[in-house]
Amino acid sequence: MKTIKKKIPKFKSTDEEIEFWDKNNATDFFNFQNSEKISFPNLKPSTKMISLRLPEALLERLKTLANKNDVPYQSLIKILLSEKVNEEFKKVG
């Protein structure tokens, strides 16, 4: 089994490197058979802005709850939504 088939060139710029990887396959340069899984727990996931209409009473309750927990209300909404989604996924397997 071959480990590295080709040598990666030195790049003069990021654009040159991007162009190179757009045209080449990483499997020609790296052996992924012995790669290790790693995690990056401190990376923030990318987010997307959405518009969500909520009843005013619910929004006020969320803001009050967030204030009591000393967190921004939008962060609290994300936390609660994430917890509920995870809970529902566990139910359906």
Cα torsion through 27, 30, 35, 40, rounded to 10: -90
> Phi and psi for 46 in degrees, rounded to 5?
-65, 150
User: Nearest to residue 66, comparing CAs of 57, 55, 77, 53?
Assistant: 77
The 10 Å CB-count burial string (b at 16+, else e) for 4-37 is: eeeeeeeeeeeeeeeeeeeeeeeeeeeeeeeeee
The tens digit of pLDDT for each residue in 32-82 reads: 888 888 888 888 888 899 999 999 999 999 999 999 999 999 999 999 999
**The predicted structure's pLDDT at residue 24:** 93
Say if pTM beats, i.e. exceeds, 0.75. no
